[in-house]
């Protein structure tokens, strides 16, 4: 059996054990809203990875964000084109200046960039991309204000797209780009030895990183503060 075919069968077998896909809410669907962040401020879109069966940890991230007052939906990664049309249409009917934050894991991270590029054509600004272990990422478009890429490089297997996380590049210097390679960050907890491409988004510490990055966008926008925020262990590209 050819290696690629064998891998595909393995992925499908694993998918059979995965949880039921999350039905994405419409953008105007109400979630539990806190007094700190008003729902009309914007929306968060989380895109799942390959075959829409991986990236189960996005459900936990979504629930965490909803508890904190953010309207959040989890979507099948390949549906990014339909989602782009939905976002544009809903903004026409609502607030055209509302916050847009997109996040995804693995191929869902790649498709998050494709979604941002589709929104660029429609003149929609993406306030932030928060990527987790992208595999074959396109270039970050100029309509993205801030992009944080959390990944774990592994030189021995990075030549295989389905096993890797890689840095991303931005088209324009106006995008604040942060590539955060966990392999190169000081780690006293053993985190970077525990995580791999298939469980990175399910790790509580990584989920906390993603939630903090997304919350910062809304909190800083609400306070009128620029989105740049100093952190250690980051590679910034301007």
How many helices (DSSP H) and strands (DSSP E) are in the chain?
Answer: 6, 7
Domain assignment present for 186:
yes
Domain assignment present for 39:
no
- What local confidence, expressed as pLDDT, does residue 221 receive? 81
- What local confidence, expressed as pLDDT, does residue 19 receive? 35
Strands of the sheet containing 235-237, edge to edge, are 71-75, 42-47, 99-105, 128-132, 146-151, 176-181, 235-237
**How many domains does the chain divide into?**
1
Domain assignment present for 73:
yes
CA distance 77 to 114: 10
- What local confidence, expressed as pLDDT, does residue 189 receive? 67
- What local confidence, expressed as pLDDT, does residue 20 receive? 36
CA distance 115 to 120: 9
Residue 29: both structure tokens together: 């669907």
Alpha-helical segments (H) within 17-144: 57-67, 80-93, 107-121
Residue 194: both structure tokens together: 């525990």
- Domain containing residue 143: 44-237
Domain assignment present for 10:
no
- What local confidence, expressed as pLDDT, does residue 164 receive? 81
Domain assignment present for 49:
yes
Secondary structure E strands in 27-162? 42-47, 71-75, 99-105, 128-132, 146-151
Integer CA distances (angstroms), 165 to 88, 181, 207, in order:
30, 9, 16
End-to-end CA distance of the chain: 46
> Which residues are CB-contacts of 4 (< 8 A; sequence separation ≥ 6)?
none
Domain assignment present for 25:
no
Q: Which domain CATH number covers 170?
A: 3.40.50.1820
Domain assignment present for 121:
yes
CA distance 66 to 76: 19
- What local confidence, expressed as pLDDT, does residue 8 receive? 44
What does the pLDDT profile of the chain (238 residues) look like in tens digits?
444 444 443 443 333 333 333 333 443 333 333 445 665 689 999 999 987 777 999 999 999 999 999 999 999 999 999 999 999 998 888 888 899 999 999 999 999 999 999 999 999 999 999 999 999 999 999 999 999 999 998 887 777 776 789 999 999 999 999 999 998 886 656 777 788 888 999 999 999 999 999 999 999 888 775 554 444 344 554 3
Q: What angle do CA 99, 78, 71 make, to 5 degrees?
A: 30
Domain assignment present for 95:
yes
């Amino acid at each position: 059996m050819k290696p690629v075919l064998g891998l595909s069968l393995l992925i499908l077998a694993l998918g059979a054990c995965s949880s039921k896909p999350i039905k994405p809410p419409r953008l105007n669907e109400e979630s539990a809203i806190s007094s700190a962040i008003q729902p009309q401020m914007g929306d968060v879109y989380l895109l799942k990875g390959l075959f829409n069966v991986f990236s189960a940890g996005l459900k936990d991230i979504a629930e965490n964000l909803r508890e904190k007052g953010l309207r959040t939906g989890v979507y099948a990664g390949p549906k990014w084109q339909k989602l782009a049309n939905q976002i544009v249409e809903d903004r026409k009917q609502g607030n055209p200046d509302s916050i847009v934050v997109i996040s995804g894991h693995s191929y869902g991270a790649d498709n998050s960039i494709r979604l941002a590029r589709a929104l660029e054509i429609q003149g929609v600004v993406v306030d932030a991309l928060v990527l987790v272990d992208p595999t074959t990422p396109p270039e970050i478009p100029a309509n993205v204000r801030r992009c944080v890429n959390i990944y774990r490089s592994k030189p021995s297997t990075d030549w295989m797209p389905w096993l890797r996380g890689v840095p991303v590049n931005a088209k324009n210097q106006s995008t604040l780009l942060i590539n955060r390679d966990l392999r190169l960050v000081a780690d006293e907890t053993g985190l970077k030895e525990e995580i791999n491409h298939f469980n990175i988004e399910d790790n509580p510490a990584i989920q906390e990183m993603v939630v903090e990055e997304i919350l910062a966008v809304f909190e800083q926008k609400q306070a009128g503060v620029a989105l740049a925020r100093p952190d250690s262990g980051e590679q910034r590209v301007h």
